[in-house]
Amino acid sequence: MKQCSKKSVGVELLEKAEVEGHSSENAQNMITNETPPPQYQASDDTIQESLRIVNEEALQLSEFLLQEEKLIRELCVILKQVLKQLNMSITIPANVLPQQEKIQRIILNDEAHLILINDKNEVKSKALEDYPPEVIYNIASFIIPELSKSLTFYRKKISSRISLFDRINQELRNLRNTLVNRPKKLDGNTNQINNGVKTALSPKQKDSSKG
């Protein structure tokens, strides 16, 4: 009986070993049969073409950056002159600047400076030209429509003054022409009236001097 039991245990161990061997062999076969991911390798012509494009784009980018810097400086100078001439300041939305702190108000004054007022009522001032191009672009995109409205209002104001000046000048011209072109007879009558007034006043002047 003991020999039979030992024999059955040995058979079971052998079968288990065979099953594990088959499983590991199948797993190795699965790993071996997996195809590796394709590796992309550009051809020499493609690399040379890409390098050529990089070189051309870098040259153009350098030129564009210089041109942008020049235009921004010119924009700030001209804008300052226009705002000063109009005696104008523009309130700008706070979201045009990166939210580094809680900005409540932004004002572009007639010196082309941005006045920043935070939630603690602290005031900071910085020239517009000292900001990055993206910020200047956002501000310019906002103020141009506002500037057009202000110019329309300014033009109407000047037009109203012109109408008033024109009417005043016209009435003054009419008055001048009336005085210049009055009849000479009227001049003689005026002299007689003036002499009569003097005569009437002369006795009174004498009496008053005696008193």
pLDDT tens-place values along the chain, 211 residues long:
444 444 454 545 445 545 555 555 554 555 455 555 556 677 888 899 999 999 999 999 999 999 999 999 999 999 999 999 888 999 998 888 877 668 889 999 999 999 999 888 899 999 999 999 999 999 999 999 999 998 999 899 999 999 999 999 999 999 999 998 877 655 555 565 556 555 655 655 555 555 4
What per-residue confidence (pLDDT) applies to 173?
Answer: 94
**27 located within any domain:** no
What per-residue confidence (pLDDT) applies to 4?
Answer: 45
**57 located within any domain:** no
E strands present in the chain: 90-92, 103-108, 113-118, 123-127
What per-residue confidence (pLDDT) applies to 45?
Answer: 85
**197 located within any domain:** no
**40 located within any domain:** no
What per-residue confidence (pLDDT) applies to 5?
Answer: 47
* Amino acid identity, position 70: K
Distances (CA, A) of 38 to 41, 122, 128, 204: 10, 60, 53, 129
The Cα–Cα gap between 169 and 192 comes to: 33
> Could you tell me which of 95, 86, 93 has the C-alpha nearest to residue 107?
93
**114 located within any domain:** yes
pTM for this model (two decimals): 0.57
Letter string b/e over residues 23-46, b meaning 16 or more CB atoms within 10 A of that residue's CB: eeeeeeeeeeeeeeeeeeeeeeee
Structural domains of the chain, count: 1
**110 located within any domain:** yes
What per-residue confidence (pLDDT) applies to 136?
Answer: 95
What per-residue confidence (pLDDT) applies to 92?
Answer: 92
**120 located within any domain:** yes
Which residues span the domain enclosing 81? 62-151
What per-residue confidence (pLDDT) applies to 104?
Answer: 87
What per-residue confidence (pLDDT) applies to 211?
Answer: 47
The CA radius of gyration of the chain, in Å to the nearest whole number, is: 49
**56 located within any domain:** no
